[in-house]
Structure 1
Amino acid sequence: MKQITNSVLMVRPVNFRMNEQTAVNNYFQKEINAENINDLATAEFDEFVSKLRKAGVEVIVVNDVKGDDTPDSIFPNNWVSFHETGKTVLYPMFAENRRKERRLEYFAELEEAGFKINEIVDYTSAEEDDVFLEGTGSLILDRINRKAYCAISARADEELLIEFCEDFEFSPVIFNAYQTVDGRRKQIYHTNVMMCVAEEFAVICLDTIDDKKEKKNVLKHLKEDGKEIISLTEKQMHEFAGNMLQVEGAFGKKLLVMSARAHESLHKDQIEKIEKHCEILSSPIPTIESCGGGSARCMLAEIFLPKA
């Protein structure tokens, strides 16, 4: 069982813009007045892909379809996850226009690249009951220790989380996480904006967990699994510093991937703690972050599938 992979799926955008359907509970999104939003996002995407490939990460790039209204297709980790057993999971999505992002034809491209899909596990019927669990946006998976960290929200249903954990043999670590929006505490839409679990460490904004018992429980789980805890401030979280992913580059080199904005928000001591364990790879994605309300981690769907 591995915690990190050297293969990721990324979706090149053709319809990127601010998605009004997700803005109702994604407080990171901002409107940008520019006619060429998709061009800006695509240039940022291409530079990011180039940096990952240069570092030795295998990046499978698929193209979004022009005709559909899929402004968030650049964030595939919310609708799909790929597992070492060969299982591929499809997740129920909160925004109706995001459901169009689930394109099974992408799987043929993965199979052409040598990956093997044995079974598709489909939770999408939960959408009929307005029940959602948005992939590794909602689920922070510690694959080695078989734990699924999840901040409950409109996009992360507790019962469906437990069903996923039973099906995939994870133990759920459930909590509530909040951010301050116009002076009020509001639920964070995705766990992966406030937390990242790597092989030997975890980056987490503990200030978002208001309940002391829940905070203590999350810390207990991370510590008992030997993770060094690197704490973020809420201000840093708002710069997407929690939205990171550890991957493997050339010759087994470990990399912590994040945006340039997230990287710039980190303090010297935090960078030193991270660099004890791995290198930082960052890339500027300001248009994607502002309009999309997601960052580097959201753009990466990890591929743990076996090779055929």
Structure 2
Amino acid sequence: MKQITNTLLMVRPVAFRMNEQTAVNNYFQEDIQNSDVNKKAQEEFDEFVKKLNSVGVQTVVVDDIVEDDTPDSIFPNNWVSFHEDGNIALYPMFAPNRRKERRLEYFAQLEDAGFKINNIVDYTAAEEDDVFLEGTGSMILDRVNQKAYCAISPRADEDLLIEFCEDFEFTPVIFTANQSVDGKRKPIYHTNVMMCMAEEFAVICLDSIDNAKERKNVIKHLKQDGKEIIAISEAQMHEFAGNMLQVQGSEKKYLVMSARAHAGLNKDQISKIEKHCEILSSDLHMIETCGGGSARCMMAEVFLPKA
């Protein structure tokens, strides 16, 4: 099993804006009243893809459909995950307008690119019961050690997580992660905002796991699997310093993040990361501000076998 891949599915936005349906529990979003929001997001997206391609990361870029009015389509990792056995998982989404992002015709483009799809495991019927599990936003997969780290939230249901783990043979590592919002502790909407799993290390905001027992358990699992723990503060998490993804370039490995996340790291954290791989960062200011998601959310990793 591999932890990282050199191929990403990415969706170029056509109707990007702050999604009012996700803002109810994504406290990272802000509304910018500006007619150029989508244009700016497209520019940031294109520059990001260019940077990834320049180091040998393969991107399968697909275009969203403007008629669907899917403001968050730029974040495909929430509705789909691709696995080495040729399986694809489809996930139930909290916001009704995000459910239209699941477009199976994208898979034809992956097949055209030489990938083999064996089976689609579909969890989306759970939406009828208001039960959600938003892909690798909700779950941080340690694919090598077959563990799924998940912070339970309105977008990550414990029973559905366990069902996924049984189907895909992962061990669940369950906890709650909170952030301070107007003086109250509220659940972080996605685990991948506070945690990133790389081959040899994990970046994690331990401060967000308020329960000492749960925090200890997460640390135990990471140490057990030989991961160096690079802790970030809650303030750094708010700069999207937890929303990162390690990828394979043509010659080197890279930890991909936004310019804002990169600027939020201190020298010690950067040197710990750079022991293992290079940092690749790109300016995603408009996408982060309106979308409430960052670099990691924009990349759906393709682990499918080649046909």
Q: Please, what TM-score do these two structures have when normalized by structure 2?
A: 1.00
Name the residue aligned to 2:260: 261
For 2:23, the equivalent position in structure 1 comes to: 23
Q: Whole-Å Cα distance in 2 between the matches of residues 238 and 113 of structure 1?
A: 36
Amino acid at match of 2:11: V
Residues 52-201 of structure 1 correspond to what in structure 2 (within 5 A)? 52-201=52-201
Deviation at 1:36?
Answer: 1.0
Structure 1, unaligned stretches of length 5 or more?
none
For 2:279, the equivalent position in structure 1 comes to: 280
Cα distance in 1 for residues equivalent to 2:33 and 2:117: 42
Equivalenced residue count is 307
1:249 pairs with 2:246 = no
The answer on 1:204 being equivalent to 2:204 is: yes
Instruction: Give every structure 1 segment of 4 or more consecutive aligned residues whose post-TM-superposition deviation is greater than 4 Å.
Output: none
> SS in structure 2 opposite 1:281?
strand
Q: Distance in 2 between matches of 1:145 and 1:242?
A: 21
Cα separation, 2, equivalents of 1:66 and 1:23: 21
Deviation at 1:66, TM superposition (A): 1.0
SS in 1 for 2:275: helix
Equivalent position of 2:12 in the other structure: 12
Which amino acid counterpart does residue 302 of structure 2 have in structure 1? I
Give, in whole Å, the separation in 2 of the partners of 1:249 and 1:219.
Answer: 29
- C-alpha distance in structure 2 between counterparts of 1:55 and 1:24, whole Å: 37
Within 2, Cα distance between the matches of 1:299 and 1:166? 27
Separation in 2 of the partners of 1:171 and 1:68? Answer: 36
**Seq. identity, %:** 77
Q: Which residue of structure 2 aligns with residue 296 of structure 1?
A: 295
For residue 196 of structure 2, what is the amino acid of its counterpart?
Answer: C
Partner AA of 1:145 in structure 2? N
- The two structures, once aligned, show a CA RMSD in angstroms of 0.4
Question: The residue matched to 1:24 in structure 2 has which SS?
Answer: coil
Equivalents in 2 of 1:195, 1:300: separation in Å? Answer: 15
Q: Deviations over 1:245-283 (max 9, x none)?
A: 0000013x1100000000000000000000000000000
Structure 2's unaligned 5+ residue stretches are none
Distance across 2 between alignment mates of 1:197 and 1:223 = 13
The two structures have a TM-score, normalised by structure 1, of: 0.99
Aligned equivalents of 1:21 and 1:69: distance in 2?
Answer: 12
For residues 82 and 168 of structure 1, the distance between their equivalents in structure 2, rounded to whole angstroms, comes to 11
Any idea what the Cα deviations from partners look like across 1:22-60, whole Å, max 9, x if unmatched? Answer: 000000000112111100000000000000000100000
Give distance in 2, aligned partners of 1:146 and 1:76. 22
| Counterpart secondary structure, 2:16 | coil
The 1-side partners of 2:132 and 2:161 are apart by 9
Letter paired with 2:265: L
Deviation at 1:69, TM superposition (A): 1.5
Could you tell me which residue of structure 1 aligns to residue 229 of structure 2? 229
Q: Secondary structure at the match of 1:277?
A: coil
What SS does the corresponding residue of 1:192 show, helix, strand or coil? helix
Output the amino acid matched with 1:282.
S
Whole-Å separation in 1 of the counterparts to 2:86 and 2:109: 15
